[in-house]
Amino acid sequence: MELPLLEVKEVQKSYFENGKEFKVLDLIRFELAERDFVCVVGPSGCGKSTLLRIIVGLEPPTSGQVLFGGSPIRADNPQVAMVFQSFALFPWLTVTQNVELGLEAQGIPPEARRPRAHKFIDAVGLTGFENAFPRELSGGMKQRVGLARALAIEPLLLCMDEPFSSLDPLTAQNLRDEILQLWANPDLPPKAVLMVTHSIEEAVYLADRVMVLSSRPGRMVAELEIDLPRPRNRKEPEFYGWVDEIYSLIV
């Protein structure tokens, strides 16, 4: 049998303050295979962002472990890329330089990384803005840069932490559709997507599988396969059936 891409095994996370333990995440376990688009949904404060930080190796779990391709995850793993809610663009670097960031860290020479960066800048529709600085871009364009930067290292797994939450609703919806288009293109990375969001509708709109977390401490309440055909229509009763079901699980 083929190895799953990502294995999250009994992950627990606690913070300690004055000797008291605050449990944030409790025994989270799931697997991610190739061609999975998974959303983690939960109320705010359920530790879903912490979970993502643990999964990409930015924080160690208190117990349990995260395996990527069968071995423990490392933060600088070039096969995992991250998109941030706050975009996390380097304000002093141009769009191209931001997109090249991961390639530069891998030691790829400038002549080789330039065309790769431009390919992904084109893919997210930012042609013509290669030399702009982040502060000159609108929120939606900034997040496109964040997306291009993540795709440029051609990761197997793309992790997104509330990527649309700082955008206005219209921009967010456009970007969601574009992500689905990129996802549908088999020539482009990634092989799997893991996204964290607090918006149930967003999760049902995007994901093949939705994982529902309860709040404080975050526990896995349910894992649901969303079998709606794409493109999905928010106005259909089936769509709302899923939203209502997840909503009742959280509340």
Q: Which residues are near another protein by CB under 8 A? A: 53, 56-58, 75-76, 78, 80-82, 84-88, 90-93, 101-102, 104-107, 110, 133-135, 139, 142-143, 149, 153, 166-167
Nearest residue (CB) to another protein, 85 versus 197: 85
Nearest residue (CB) to another protein, 15 versus 234: 15
Q: How far is the CB of 103 from another protein (least distance, A)?
A: 9
Cis ω before 217 (30° cut-off from 0): yes
Helix axes 139-152, 169-184, angle to 10 degrees: 20
Q: How far is the CB of 79 from another protein (least distance, A)?
A: 11
Query: Which residue spans within 119-179 are E strands per DSSP?
Result: 157-161
Nearest residue (CB) to another protein, 63 versus 86: 86
Q: How far is the CB of 96 from another protein (least distance, A)?
A: 14
Phi-psi bin for 225: left (phi > 0), alpha (psi -120 to 50), beta? beta
Residues contacting 227, CB < 8 A, separation 6+:
none
CB atoms within 10 A of CB 111: 7
The identity of residue 190, as a single letter, is: P
Q: How far is the CB of 248 from another protein (least distance, A)?
A: 32
Q: Token pair for residue 40?
A: 């983690």
Q: How far is the CB of 104 from another protein (least distance, A)?
A: 7
Nearest residue (CB) to another protein, 44 versus 248: 44
Angle among Cα 26, 28, 34 to the nearest 5 degrees reads 165
Nearest residue (CB) to another protein, 4 versus 134: 134
Q: Are strands 209-213 and 220-225 parallel, antiparallel or unpaired?
A: antiparallel
Q: How far is the CB of 36 from another protein (least distance, A)?
A: 20
Instruction: Please give the Cα distance from 129 to 146 (Å, whole number).
Output: 14
Nearest residue (CB) to another protein, 37 versus 164: 164
The identity of residue 8, as a single letter, is: V
